[in-house]
Amino acid sequence: MFWGSKRKKTSTNIGSLPEDLVFEILLRLPAEDIYKTAILVCKKWHNAIHSCNFVHKHLQHSAPVLLAQLIDHGDDRDYGFHQLNIKRFLPMGRGSVEESEFSYDTMGRVLGSCNGLILECLETEDRYNLSIVNPVRFESFDLPSISPEFDIAYDPMIAYAEASNKYKVVVMGFWKFEPTGIESCVMLTVGVDKSWRRVDTKHLDIDRCLSTQRFIHWTRSEGTCIANLNVETEIVTETRIPQGYEKRFKYYLSMGSCLTLLVECVEFSWEVLKMKPETGEWTRMLKIDLEPLKGKFVNL
């Protein structure tokens, strides 16, 4: 401040900011803030947020998000999972875990998530109804019915094909007219396919299915290989588990953009390895060692 100065005072309002600067500011906002407040500020912001370029850039800029569920089955065997079903989004890769609110009340079972979208299933006696939910905008998109010939369906997963900017849903199951025990896979490109397409999965032998951004992974706790389906190319490849871990107790976690392998050393200690889906390369991470603290939670 210059005392006695006659210089004209200038003020800057948000409407006078350059469009490219506004674009960069909006990219740094969480999706919930964008659609609840930012989109209402002015027409310029509204148009920027609705552009395809903004949606694509916001996905690239956002940290991977995992959906965590706490389900209490209670005493009711048929409907117990409705008694307590708490869900939280957990953004990853920012040095800490940030728990976010989950305001959408799902109608069916939540099977997975990708980029903040939720894959939901509402089962009836004769149908297996899948839908994709946007919990921020309270929107739901119903997927086509699966062929009646696909007798037993399970493990639906959703992943994102970044190059084509499309979401794909994959469902495992058994065909009625094939030998029992041979598992198969059907896929749907959301908003494009009107029916499910069959994908060659090389007769996979699996017991768990996970998704990591643009890959679907099939694993076995006692297996030596992981099968990876690239939803962009729709090609299945196999990745071997690092040598020496084949017979040890292990389990897998999806960490948004990568698959993580946890191998038990002792009861409260694990080795952690991260797999890059594109190359199948494994990287050793920091070891988790809770042995010195086990007396504090061993009875939980």
Q: What is the pLDDT of residue 188?
A: 92
- Token pair belonging to 230: 């690239």
How far is Cα 32 from Cα 91, in angstroms, rounded to an integer?
13
- Residue 245 binned pLDDT confidence (cut-offs 50, 70, 90): confident
Residue 243 CB neighbours (<10 A): 7
Answer yes or no: is pLDDT of 156 > 80.
yes
CA distances from 56 to 24, 51, 93, 115, 241 (A): 13, 9, 19, 11, 34
Secondary structure class of 150 (helix, strand, coil): strand
As a whole number, the mean pLDDT across the chain is: 79
Residue 274 to residues 242, 252, 260, 269, Cα–Cα distance (Å) = 11, 10, 5, 17
Give the pLDDT of residue 193: 92
pLDDT level of residue 300 (50, 70, 90 thresholds)? low
Q: How many CB atoms lie within 10 A of CB 7?
A: 6
Please give the average per-residue pLDDT across 26-38, as a whole number: 85
Q: Is the distance from CB of 156 to CB of 168 less than 8 angstroms?
A: no
Is residue 177 predicted with pLDDT exceeding 60? yes
The pTM (predicted TM-score) of the whole model is 0.77
Q: Which of 248, 214, 247 is nearest to 228 (CA)?
A: 214
Alpha carbon distance 59, 283 (integer Å): 25
Quickly state the pLDDT bin for 298 (edges 50, 70, 90): low
Cite the DSSP H helix spans in the chain: 19-27, 31-36, 43-49, 52-61, 294-297
CB 27 within 8 A of CB 61: yes
Q: pLDDT, tens digit, for every residue of 256-281?
A: 778 999 999 888 899 999 998 888 89
Query: Cα-atom radius of gyration of the chain, to the nearest Å?
Result: 23
The per-residue pLDDT for 6 is: 52
Please state, in angstroms and as integers, the Cα–Cα distance from residue 232 to each residue in 96, 117, 143, 158, following that order.
30, 18, 19, 12
Name, in order, each residue with C-beta under 8 angstroms of 165's C-beta and a sequence gap of 6 or more: 52, 56
Would you state the pLDDT for residue 56?
82
